Amino acid sequence: MSIHVFARDPKVLQALLRHIREGVILLDEQERILTFNAKARKWLGLQPEHDLGRPWEEVIQRHPQLYLAYRQLKLDSADRLDATIAGGSPQTFEMERIEIPGPPKRVLVLLHDVTLLKEAALRIRQADTHIKRQMEELENLWKRVSEELYRDPLTGVYNRRYLEEKLWEEINRARRSGIPLGVLMVDVDDLKYWNDTHGHIMGDTLLILVARVLKEMFHPHAVARYGGDEFVVLLPGMEPKAVEARLQAVNRRLQEAWPQQPRRRGGTISAGLALYPWNGQTPTELLEAADAALYESKRRGKARLMLSRRRAGGQTRVLSKTKHPAKSYR
C-alpha cells in the first residue's frame, strides 16, 4: 500500500501518524495544515487549536532553517534537505516534501530526526582529522629521526650509515642500467696540522667548508662523511676526466675560501676514484679500491686524483699530475 493511500484513508492515516517515527504534516492543495502527528507537534511546537488550517509556510517561519529548506525543496524539486532547529538542545532534521496528486491534491511533509546520526558523523570526521594530524606528526617525526639517523651532526652531509645503504642502491641501479658508477674517496689535506696548530675548532671549520663545497659541486644526496677527515661522493655515469675537472674546481673554491698561511697548508683535498664494475662489485670492494687510490694520491703529493687499478694487479696510476692548487691555479 503506497503512502498516497495512507494520506487519503482517515483511519489508516491516523494509525500511521500515531506509530510512525517521523514527524508528519499533511497539507491541503493550498498547503494549509490539515493534520500532524505527535512527533511533529513535539519537534516544531505545533498546536492543533492554533495551527490547523494555517498556511504551512507561515507556521514554519518560526524555524528559519526549516523554512529555507522547505522553500528550496519546492523551488528545486530536491528529494530531501537537512535543517537544524535551534534551542537548548539543537536538533537536525532531514525534510522531505511529497506531492500526492488529486483530486484533491495533498502535500505530505516528513521530518526525520538525524541529530544523532549527524553528531556521530561529526565525531567520526573529528576523529579522522585527529588521526590524520597524528599521522602527519608521526611522519614528520620519522623524517626528523631519519635525518638525524643518516646525517653527520658536524658537517650536515650524510653519514656512513646512509652511504652503506645508498651505495647498494646505486650498485643495483648501475647493474640494471649498465651505466658505470664512480666511488670517489676524498681526504682533507693537512687537517691534522690545523687541529694541532690552531685547535679543533679550526679543523672542524675546515671540514664544514669541504662538505659545503662538495655538496655545491656535486649532488647533495651524493656526498657522505665516511669518517674523520674522509668523505665519499657517489658519481653515477660520470667519466673520470669529468671527475678530475670537478675536483680541480673544488680545490680552487677551497683555496679561495680558506685563509692562507705562509706555508700554504690546507684548503685542498686529495681523492681516489674506483669504478663499478671494473674495480669492484660490492660496497666493500669499491670502498677499499677507492681508499687505496686515495692513499696513493696522498703519497704522491696531495691535491690530486688517482684512479684505482686494483683489478690490474693492485696498482694505481696517476690520473692528474696537477700540482698543489695554490701554485697551479693562481
- Quick: pLDDT tens for 97-117: 988 887 888 999 999 999 899
**Whether pLDDT at 243 is above 70:** yes
Residue type, 164: E
Selection from 307, 308, 301 nearest residue 322 by Cα: 301
**The predicted structure's pLDDT at residue 199:** 86
Q: Return the CA Rg of the chain.
A: 41
pLDDT at 194: 84
Could you give the angle at which helices 191-198 and 200-217 cross, rounded to 10 degrees? 150
List, for residues 183-220, the tens digit of each pLDDT value: 999 999 888 888 888 888 988 999 999 999 999 999 88
Q: What's the mean pLDDT in 58-75?
A: 89
For 138, the grid coordinates are 608521526
pLDDT of 31 higher than 90: yes
Rounded-to-integer distance, Cα 165 and Cα 179, Å: 19
Report the residue count for the chain: 330
Cα first-last separation, the chain: 102
Q: State how far Cα 95 lies from the chain centre.
A: 42
Instruction: Answer for the pair 93, 111: CB distance below 8 angstroms, yes or no.
Output: yes
Percent above pLDDT 90 for the chain: 50
Q: Looking at 52-56, 89-93, 271-275, which range is the least confident one?
A: 89-93
Residue 7: pLDDT band by 50, 70, 90 thresholds?
Answer: low
49-58, 138-147, 172-181, 291-300: segment of lowest average pLDDT: 138-147
Give the alpha-carbon dihedral of 45, 93, 114, 8, to 10 degrees: 80
Higher pLDDT, 196 or 147: 196
The answer for residues whose C-beta is within 8 angstroms of residue 64's C-beta and 6 or more apart is none
106-113/181-188 β-pairing: unpaired
d(CA 182, CA 305): 13
pLDDT for residue 263 is more than 70: no
SS3 279: coil
CA dist 106 and 100 (Å) reads 5
C-alpha grid cell for residue 172?
643495483
Look at the alpha carbons of 52, 56, 57, 61 in this order and tell me if their dihedral is positive or negative.
Answer: positive
Tell me what pLDDT residue 9 has. 65
pLDDT of 330 > 60? The answer is no
- Write down all domains in the chain, each with its CATH number in brackets: 3-113 (3.30.450.20), 154-328 (3.30.70.270)
Q: Say if residue 319's pLDDT is above 70.
A: no
Instruction: Specify the pLDDT at position 261.
Output: 55
Tell me the one-letter amino acid at 81.
L
Give the lowest-confidence range in 5-19, 55-69, 179-193, 230-244: 5-19
pLDDT at 271 over 90: yes
Q: What is the pLDDT of residue 327?
A: 33
Distance of CA 129 to the CA centre of its chain: 16
Neighbours of 31 (CB within 10 A): 19
Predicted confidence band of residue 223 (pLDDT cuts 50, 70, 90)? very high
pLDDT at residue 226 greater than cutoff 90: yes
Per residue, what are the HEC states of 196-239?
HHHCHHHHHHHHHHHHHHHHHHCCHHHEEEEECCEEEEEEECCC
Q: How many helices (H) and strands (E) does the chain have?
A: 13, 11
pTM over 0.75: no
pLDDT band at 13 (very low <50, low <70, confident <90, very high): low
Distance CA(31)–CA(44), nearest Å, equals: 17
Q: Any residues with CB less than 8 A from the CB of 231 and at least 6 apart, and which?
A: 157, 185, 186, 187, 188, 210, 211, 214, 223, 224, 225
